[in-house]
């Protein structure tokens, strides 16, 4: 349906399937108390999936940038200050790292890893507009679907434009130092075009939408139909059942 597909076959899946699988992984990681389960999920499910789609590197990159620093902080803080600490794992002078604290930090870190890696696969292989379209096809009102897609697509675009303005102002000799007043005065020419262009953009786009019958009261049709193979529906059901089973296990066993 779309050209330039990152993520190979993963790209062509129904976004709802990818969303369900990602959510199932995350819920499983949170419902099952052993970090080994989460680690197993990562190594046996998420990693192979990313390899299959050819997006392992960006996925690992996201994990490294988001999970690694958090894990470092967690290990130090929980290791030192875990309230129920009883077994010393490591002594460094007056500092004691508690085993229970380290284990707890490990568990949280692994869950974070699942969250970030699962979502990075979803986002790397799914254009926001396609996700919104799939949600609309599944029954989300068209207005919500539009707002979701437009927000996800326009915000990065608007940021890009703001950076262009910043560059232009710098080139014209914008200085960002000196007294508070001087700095405020310097930043003003930067902020004004940014705000005003955002406002105009909102108004012009509102008119453009109006001209194209947005929210005309008719039930909208869609140009593309997002494919939804029977296998994908089965996978989504399986995800639901797995999460349900994990929930029951967590509550009663």
Partner 1 sequence: MAIIEIENLTYTYPVENFPALHGVNLRVEEGEWVVVSGENEAGKSTLCCIIAGLIPSVYRGKLEGTVRLCSLDVCQASRKDLIHRVGMVMQNPFHQISGGRFTVAEEVAFGLENLGVPRPEMHWRVNDMLAQVGIAHLARCSPFSLSGGQQQLVALAAALVMHPEVLVLDEPTSQLDPQASQKVLAVVQDLQKQGLTVVLVEHRLEWAAEFASRLVILEKGTICADGLPAQVFAGLAGRASGVHFPAVTLLGFQARREGLWPAGRPLPVTIEQAVRGFRR
Position among 146, 236, 243, 246 found at the interface with partner 1 (CB under 8 A)? 146
Three-state secondary structure call for residue 124:
helix
Nearer to partner 1, 220 or 240 (CB): 220
Cβ atoms 108, 74 nearer than 8 A: yes
DSSP state of 96: E
Considering only residues 197 through 226, tell me which ones interact with partner 1, judged by CB under 8 A: 200-201, 204-205, 207-225
Cβ atoms 96, 15 nearer than 8 A: no
Nearer to partner 1, 147 or 163 (CB): 147
Position among 23, 60, 150, 174 found at the interface with partner 1 (CB under 8 A)? 150
Residue 158 Cβ, how far from partner 1 at the closest point, in Å? 10
User: What is each CA distance from 88 to 36, 103, 107, 110, in whole angstroms?
Assistant: 22, 12, 18, 22
Binding marks (x or -) toward partner 1, 111..130, rule CB under 8 A?
----------------xxxx
Distance CA 107, CA 34 (A): 7
Encoded tokens for 173? 């000799």
Which spans of this chain sit near partner 1 (rule: CB under 8 A)? Answer: 2-3, 127-130, 132-133, 142, 145-147, 149-150, 153-154, 157, 200-201, 204-205, 207-225
């Amino acid at each position: 349906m779309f050209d330039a597909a990152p993520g190979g076959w993963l790209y062509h899946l129904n976004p709802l399937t990818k969303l369900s699988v990602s959510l199932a992984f995350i819920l499983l990681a949170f419902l099952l108390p052993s970090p080994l389960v989460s680690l197993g999920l990562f190594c046996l499910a998420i990693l192979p999936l990313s390899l299959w789609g050819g997006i392992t590197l960006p996925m690992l990159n996201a994990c490294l940038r988001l999970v690694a620093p958090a894990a470092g902080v967690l290990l130090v803080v929980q290791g030192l200050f875990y309230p129920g600490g009883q077994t010393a794992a490591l002594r460094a002078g007056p500092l004691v790292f508690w085993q229970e604290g380290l284990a707890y930090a490990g568990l949280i870190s692994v869950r974070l890893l699942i969250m970030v890696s699962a979502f990075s696969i979803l986002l790397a292989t799914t254009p926001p507009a396609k996700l919104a379209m799939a949600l609309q096809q599944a029954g989300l009102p068209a207005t919500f679907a539009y707002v979701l897609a437009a927000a996800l697509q326009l915000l990065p675009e608007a940021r890009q434009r703001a950076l262009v303005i910043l560059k232009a102002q710098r080139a014209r000799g914008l200085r960002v130092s000196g007294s508070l007043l001087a700095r405020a005065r310097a930043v003003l020419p930067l902020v004004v075009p940014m705000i005003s262009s955002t406002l105009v953009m909102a108004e012009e786009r509102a008119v453009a939408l109006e001209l194209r019958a947005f929210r005309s009261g008719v039930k909208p049709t869609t140009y593309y139909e997002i494919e939804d193979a029977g296998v994908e529906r089965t996978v989504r059901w399986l995800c639901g059942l797995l999460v349900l089973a994990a929930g029951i296990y967590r509550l009663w066993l």
